Amino acid sequence: MRIDATAYACRWRGVSPAAKGVFALAGIAAAWLARSPGTLGVVALLSMLATLAGARVPMRSYFAVAAAPLGFVLLSCLTMLVTPAGGGGWRWAPELLPTVAHIALRSFATMAAVLGLVLTTPLPHLLSLLRRLRVPELLLDLMAVCYRMLFVLRQAWDEASTAQAARLGHRGLRQQWRSMGLLAGQMAVQVWQRASAMQMAADARVCQGSLRFLPASFLKARRQLALSLLASAALLAISLRDRL
């Protein structure tokens, strides 16, 4: 929900998704082409600045969304520093620290490029871009259905949680855990029922045609795409210079 709200509230909401997609792809490519840690740090920093300063995404929202993937990267890096020992146990391997740090920087630079796209582009705009790129309609329909289900389930969860709180279901830690378990079980049933209803709706239209959204118009799409290409070329030039 935070991602969607941030995308609709950011400064680049009206920017062409093609322009943002090109810059994101350039950021990913630059992260893979760069070799030195300094260049990887510069690529990551430029992607972050484009999102925070250019699109004016709130820093709190940015790091709240980045917390989960960043935690996964850090945990993965810690496990790579632990290797099997000769006697059948495990040992700490500080000699692998430069390699692990390089992997972490590359992952962070790639993540910054992807976050720059998802935090500035509403899903309907992304679907429109993917449709222009000839992505199969079935995949686009699945994305739209999952997107809609998130809001439906969030509303059902909030309403049920409010009803539990009104009946003093959240009084005490033990009661809170019990109420959460009951709510999770009820939500599983609701997910099944709503999925069945959506399947019936799809069968009623014989699964023909695709889900459509109101088309968004971008009056300065060509100019925005040109600026994006220039910024992408500069980003790739930094990485290519480092690689060569």
Q: Quote the mean pLDDT of the chain.
A: 85
Q: How confident is the model at residue 52 (pLDDT cuts 50, 70, 90)?
A: very high
pLDDT in tens, 57-103: 999 999 999 999 999 999 998 888 888 777 667 888 888 888 889 99
Q: What is the pTM of this model?
A: 0.79
Q: How confident is the model at residue 211 (pLDDT cuts 50, 70, 90)?
A: low
Number of helices (H), then strands (E), in the chain:
9, 2
The whole-number pLDDT of residue 72 equals 92
The token pair that represents 219 in the structure block:
């009056």
Give the residue, 5 or 198, on which the prediction is more confident.
5
pLDDT mean over 24-40 = 92
The whole-number pLDDT of residue 171 equals 79
Q: How confident is the model at residue 1 (pLDDT cuts 50, 70, 90)?
A: confident
